[in-house]
Each structure stands twice: as structure tokens, then as C-alpha cells.
Amino acid sequence: MPQELLEVGERVGIDGGALAATSRLVAKADSAAVQDGFDLYLHCFVVADDGKWTVVQQGMNPDRREARRYHWLSEGLDSFVENPHAAIEGTPRGRIVNLAEERAHRAREAQMALLAWNPERVTAAVGQWRPEIARGLPAEPGAARAPAPDLEWTPAARLHLTMPSRHDVHASDVVLRRLRGTIAAAQTAMPPDFPSLLLTPGVGPRTVLALAMAAEVVFGAPCRFSDPARFSLALGGKDGHPFPVPLAVYDATIRVLKDAVSRAKRLPGDDRLAAIERLDRQARLLERGGEGPRFEEFVARERRRSHALGGRSVADRRATGKAAGKSRRGQPNLPGF
């Protein structure tokens, strides 16, 4: 992907190197800064001739058999680590490690402060989970340890910790020997900010999680915030959750979108963009103030209507053994159905 973006940049005369760096940072943000239990396996970077871009990434949680999709837009993006997503589609999971939340700025600052410490001191904090070990620890010789004043550890911070259900770090979470080496490597580069830390070679989700937890214990800076995902219910899911895909509605949606695209092609560029912006504004207003049935009621109603709307899921294909082909209504089946 980075090499492709460099080649695109050369062809159309835009900064391919900056696009490649953006691609890496977006992937790191959704794998290390946002730790929601979904592992990225798909990264699509779409760039226009004028340099504007959009990214769609997908993650999978094999234990829950659920997928999650992350959407990014270059337009209106002010920060890669403060509420940067245009949308995250998936089932909300409550409080997660979310360092891409604007309220997590203290956690990000605290992690940068920890990088100025002796790696042995940081790994000791990670391994023992005792705030007392952080008091009075000297900085690495020659390192400029300068935590922000409001990040200094105080006994009161212990009263505001937000910890996971277990306090110990398992070997599967982080290997302290590797963490020590990664911190030492990061200190050599001394990244100036949190996005640069994410791009440091060797810094991945486990390193970021270990630093975040250490920062929470040492400085009382929480790293767990609400999950930014919002579940999309319009067309169900091919796994049957929350309800099977209603093929009749799916086909009608495609026809409406095709007609809208066809009509938009006849509009001047500015008018087309204005129409899309009006649609976006109306959608956001509905999201903020719209009322409807509770989630459980909505799902139950859609399940009851599923058969009448041609509802299908991958389970239907497994049960009948039918290969991909024509559906009952003579329409091509969706991939995977």
C-alpha cells in the first residue's frame, strides 16, 4: 500500500510520501490507539487527484464472530488522535482502551512523559502495578524528563484509577523484555508527539497498552473511554445478526442509489456537492433528535418481517448446500450467500 501511494503521487503530482505516512498512521490509530477487540485485516485507501483521501478499514473479532468497520475522511480532519473517525460501524462494547478520544489527552501526554524514564523503571511499573514505585524515580541520564505539571503523581490519583477486571499483565499481553527494548528504541528516536510514537518501528498495540496502563497507575490518567462505534441497522448482517439481510430492501436500496448517482452526474460539480452536504446534514439531525423503538424492539420486528422481505444469511447457504447463483427472485445472490 505505501509503495502504491508513492507511485500514485508521482503520476498525479501530489505528495505520495505524505499519503503513505497517513496510511500507516491511520492503520496504527485503529490497531493501537483504539483497542476494542477487533484485529484489522482490511485497509482500503482511496485518494483523488487533488490529494483528498478516504480510508475504510475492517477489523474482526473471531471470538464474537463480529466485524467492525472504521471510516476516515481527510476533509475536516484536524487530528489523528482526537475523535478522528468519520464513523465506526459495529456493536458498541461499552468502555474500551480508546486513546483516540479527546478526553484521553492526559493519557497521551503521560505516555510521552514515560518515554523519558529509564526503561527498567517503566517495565517495573508495568510488572508490579504499584503506584508507589513511581515516586521519586530519576530520569534516564541525559534524558529531558519534563512531564506536564498536572501529570505529577499524587496519592489522590489512586482514588480515580480505571482498571480492567484483572490488575496483573499476562504474558500474552506484553513481554517485559520486548517492552524494555521497544521503549529504549523509542527513546533513541524521541518522538515529539503521540502520533509519532504510534509510527515508531516496533511500537504496536501491546506496547501502547502497557504504556497506557503504566501512565494510568503513575499519573492517574485514564485510558478507557466509551466505545465510539455506532451500530448500523439498515440492512442487517449476512451472519444473521442482528437480523438476516432483507434482499428485497437491499435490491430496492441499490436501485435508489443507482438512480441518485445517475441524476447526480447531470448536475454541475458544485450543485452535486451541495446536494450531498444537505443529505449529510439531514442525516446528522435525525441521528441527534430522531426517535424510534428500542434496540430490542427494532431487532425483534425485523426478525419477524425477515421472511416476507427475502431475509437471507450465510447459515441458509450452509443448510441447503446451494452454491452462489440465482436467488428465489431471480436476482444474483450477494457474495457469500
* 108-157 pLDDT tens trace: 999 998 888 888 778 777 765 444 333 333 333 333 333 433 444 444 34
Instruction: Give the pLDDT confidence score for residue 173 in this predicted structure.
Output: 53
Domain annotation covers residue 65 = yes
**Same domain flag for 197 and 118:** yes
Domain annotation covers residue 238 = no
Within the chain, what is the greatest distance between any pair of CA atoms?
A: 74
**Same domain flag for 194 and 204:** yes
Long-range pairs for 18-21 at CB < 8 Å and ≥24 separation? 19/45, 19/47, 19/51, 19/53, 21/199
Instruction: For residues 56 and 90, give the distance between their C-alpha atoms in angstroms, rounded to a whole number.
Output: 13
Instruction: Give the pLDDT confidence score for residue 127 in this predicted structure.
Output: 66
The residue among 78, 101, 124 that closes a domain is 101
Domain annotation covers residue 233 = no
**Same domain flag for 121 and 87:** no
Helices (H), 57-204: 105-114, 119-128, 176-189, 194-198
**Same domain flag for 91 and 22:** yes
- Take residue 234 and report the three cell numbers written for it: 439498515
Instruction: Give the pLDDT confidence score for residue 175 in this predicted structure.
Output: 61
Instruction: Give the pLDDT confidence score for residue 270 in this predicted structure.
Output: 73
Structural domain including 211 reads 103-225
- Take residue 133 and report the three cell numbers written for it: 514505585
**Same domain flag for 82 and 107:** no
**Same domain flag for 107 and 215:** yes
Instruction: Give the pLDDT confidence score for residue 327 in this predicted structure.
Output: 44
- The tally of domains found in the chain comes to 3
Number of H helices, E strands in the chain: 11, 9
**Same domain flag for 219 and 117:** yes
**Same domain flag for 89 and 112:** no
Domain annotation covers residue 214 = yes
Instruction: Give the pLDDT confidence score for residue 133 in this predicted structure.
Output: 35
Q: What is the pTM of this model?
A: 0.69
Instruction: Give the pLDDT confidence score for residue 288 in this predicted structure.
Output: 66
Instruction: Give the pLDDT confidence score for residue 54 in this predicted structure.
Output: 96
Residues of the chain with pLDDT under 50: 129-163, 167-171, 323-337
**Same domain flag for 76 and 164:** no
